[in-house]
């Protein structure tokens, strides 16, 4: 566990704040009395967020920025300094996804996912460190995924990016302990957002029903509770915690179940391959 802190009065930068979990985080943090700087690429969506906050008697500062661009990362830091005089909490929420089996995945899409989900996160963190070191009970909060705790078939590239976030966070937590900066990881499970609609590619035969998941607002509240408590690792949804438990203590069982699912999806293809091999052997 890290430091306990109050959300009220904290200066918070949230990336990917125009939609989904990021938008819910910005509104909920503002309701709890935080000074919120919401960053995202699309200015019209940020304007809608600011207007919604204002209609609820809340104030949210916005900045249009892309976490993959060095000049935009500087822009976020400058905005936090100008608006609040510093920064206490960085929530790295910006992320993209794609589905599809690895053999069919275009390398450009794999690189794009890592540019946003991993390098965008690490370099935004690097840019904000000078401000965070001067902050009050500072914290870095990395929004990861259950897919960063157990690899999900047909989501190998997304899972890999989130595993990278997990490893980076664990190492950074130890490195920044001397500076009094907490590094927290929140791993949502299925969440009711537009994330699946905004994926850069969808080729998975295995479908996940996001409508059965938590709402963005529930994830936001759970995330801010974890931040207030200084909880290093937070895994959301009962199913998500169950999967992580099985993956840790019964990994062979999880492997068996996932392989069985893949075999059922590709039964026809596998049968055709066996037929071709048999025909080839008979012709020799």
Angle at alpha carbon of residue 129, lines to 122 and 163, rounded to 5°? 25
Q: Does residue 67 have an active-site annotation? A: no
Residues sharing a CB contact under 8 Å with residue 159, sequence separation 6 or more, in sequence order: 145, 147, 148, 150, 151, 152
Distance CA 156, CA 144 (A): 15
Residues sharing a CB contact under 8 Å with residue 155, sequence separation 6 or more, in sequence order: 97, 99, 147, 204
Q: What single-letter DSSP state applies at residue 11? A: E
Residues sharing a CB contact under 8 Å with residue 255, sequence separation 6 or more, in sequence order: none
Query: What is 69-120 written as a DSSP string?
Result: -HHHHHHHHHHHHHHHSS-SEEEE------B--GGG--HHHHHHHHIIIIII
Distance CA 139, CA 172 (A): 11
Helix (H/G/I), strand (E/B), else coil: 250? coil
| Measured torsion, CA atoms of residues 25, 71, 122, 33, in degrees rounded to the nearest 10 | -20
- Strand 35-40 relative to strand 11-14, pairing: parallel
Distance CA 47, CA 63 (A): 10
Alpha helices in the chain (DSSP H): 20-31, 43-55, 70-84, 107-114, 121-133, 156-175, 216-229, 238-249, 251-265, 267-283
Q: Give me the catalytic one of 158, 163, 168, 195.
A: 158
Residues tagged active-site: 158
């Amino acid at each position: 566990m890290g430091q306990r802190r109050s959300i009220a009065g904290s200066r918070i930068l949230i990336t990917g704040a125009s939609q989904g979990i990021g938008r819910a985080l910005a509104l909920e943090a503002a309701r709890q009395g935080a000074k919120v700087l919401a960053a995202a690429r699309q200015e019209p969506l940020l304007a809608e967020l600011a207007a919604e906050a204002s209609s609820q008697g809340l104030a949210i500062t916005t900045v249009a920025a892309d976490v993959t661009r060095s000049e935009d990362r500087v822009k976020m830091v400058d905005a936090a300094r100008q608006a609040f005089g510093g920064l206490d909490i960085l929530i790295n929420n910006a992320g993209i996804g794609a589905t599809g089996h690895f053999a069919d995945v275009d390398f450009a899409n794999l690189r794009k996912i890592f540019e946003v989900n991993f390098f965008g996160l690490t370099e935004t963190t690097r840019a904000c460190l000078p401000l965070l070191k001067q902050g009050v009970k500072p914290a870095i909060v990395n929004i990861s995924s259950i897919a960063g705790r157990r690899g999900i078939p047909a989501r190998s590239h997304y899972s890999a990016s989130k595993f990278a976030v997990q490893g980076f966070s664990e190492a950074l937590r130890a490195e920044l302990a001397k500076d009094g900066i907490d590094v927290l990881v929140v791993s949502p499970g299925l969440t009711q957002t537009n994330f699946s609609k905004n994926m850069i590619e969808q080729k998975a035969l295995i479908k996940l029903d996001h409508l059965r998941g938590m709402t963005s607002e529930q994830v936001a509240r759970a995330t801010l509770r974890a931040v207030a408590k200084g909880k290093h690792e937070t895994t959301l949804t009962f199913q998500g915690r169950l999967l992580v438990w099985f993956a840790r203590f019964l990994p062979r069982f999880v492997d068996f179940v996932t392989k069985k699912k893949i075999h059922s999806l590709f039964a026809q293809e596998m049968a055709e391959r066996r037929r071709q091999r048999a025909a080839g052997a008979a012709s020799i």
